[in-house]
Amino acid sequence: MITGEQKPFEEIWNMVKDFKKVLVFGCNTCVAICHAGGGKEAEILASLLRMKASEEGIAIEINHNAVERHCEPEFFQPVMEDIRTYDLILSTACGVGVNLLSENIGDIPVFPAINTEFFGAVPRAGEFTELCAGCGNCILHLTGGICPIARCSKSLLNGPCGGTNNGSCEVSPDIKCAWVLIYDRMKKLNKLDLMKEINEAKDWSKAQGPRNFKVKVLEEIKK
């Protein structure tokens, strides 16, 4: 899922304070799970902004709404007529949602209320961790299912750097050294020989945007 955290309130306030009619627009899928941008968070943010506006003596109409997803137009199309009555949409969806809505809404600005971070796992409720960076050319079969692109601070492909420190990464004791994890796993899988082979430099062209693709089967059917 996509993870994100709400921006600092002051930053959000500075974005909205010069508008007259603002919709805080939530997304009830990924960002709801990380308590950053679901309908409930949109509602809370809207009321905080209303309180701030009245404190500052500024007249802004601030409402909230949410749909299931912002990453597919069919989910926000039904409310489009209503949201076009606002002069700012403060989206609590991920950046994908902000982009897509901007493309579809016409001349109304859509601002981000959250910082979109990564796509991650939820090992425990309320905890999120990055395990894949979407590099476009997966090598997990070579690394015991542990991703060195996302999980090594330097995205190294051939083993640990000199900073590896009792299982931690040189960057922080809170980060596990991905290459120690990979080594241990490869050893257990009896695949250390594979780890001894040099991984060639990565084709980063597959990891760089703008990226898009079409599902081949569907394209064939269309033809």
Partner 1 sequence: MSFRDILDSGKFAVTAEIGPPKGTDIKEMYHHIEVLKGKIDVANVTDNQSAVMRISSLAVCKIVLDNGMEPVLQMTCRDRNRIGLQADLLGASVLGIHNVLCLTGDHVNAGDHKQAKSVYDVESVQLLKIVEGMNNGKDMSGNEMKGATNFYAGAVVTPEANPLEPQLVKFEKKVKAGAKFFQTQAIYDMEKFKSFMAYARKFPVKVLAGIVVLKSAGMANFMNKNVPGISVPQVLIDEIKAAGKEKALETGINIAARHIKQLKDEKICDGVHIMAIGMEDKVPMIMERAGLL
| Contacts to ligand SF4 by CB under 6 A | 132-135, 138-140, 147, 149-150, 152-154, 156, 160-161, 163-164, 169-171, 177-179
Q: Residue 161 Cβ, how far from ligand SF4 at the closest point, in Å?
A: 4
Distance, CA of 67 to CA of 77 (rounded, Å): 10
Residues 6+ apart with CB under 8 A from 139: 148, 149, 157, 199
Distance, CA of 2 to CA of 140 (rounded, Å): 20
> In terms of CB distance, is 17 or 176 closer to partner 1?
176
Could you say which of ligand SF4, partner 1, none residue 99 binds, taking C-beta under 5 to 8 angstroms by partner kind?
A: none
Q: Residue 191 Cβ, how far from partner 1 at the closest point, in Å?
A: 12
Q: Residue 165 Cβ, how far from partner 1 at the closest point, in Å?
A: 4
> In terms of CB distance, is 49 or 182 closer to ligand SF4?
182
> In terms of CB distance, is 122 or 140 closer to ligand SF4?
140
Residue showing tokens 């959250």: 114
* Structure token pair of residue 118: 């990564």
Q: What is the DSSP letter of 171?
A: T
**Where in 139-198 is the site for partner 1 (CB under 8 A)?**
153-167, 170-172, 179-180, 182-183, 192, 195-196, 198
* Structure token pair of residue 117: 């971070």
- Residue 114's H or E segment, with its range, is strand 114-121
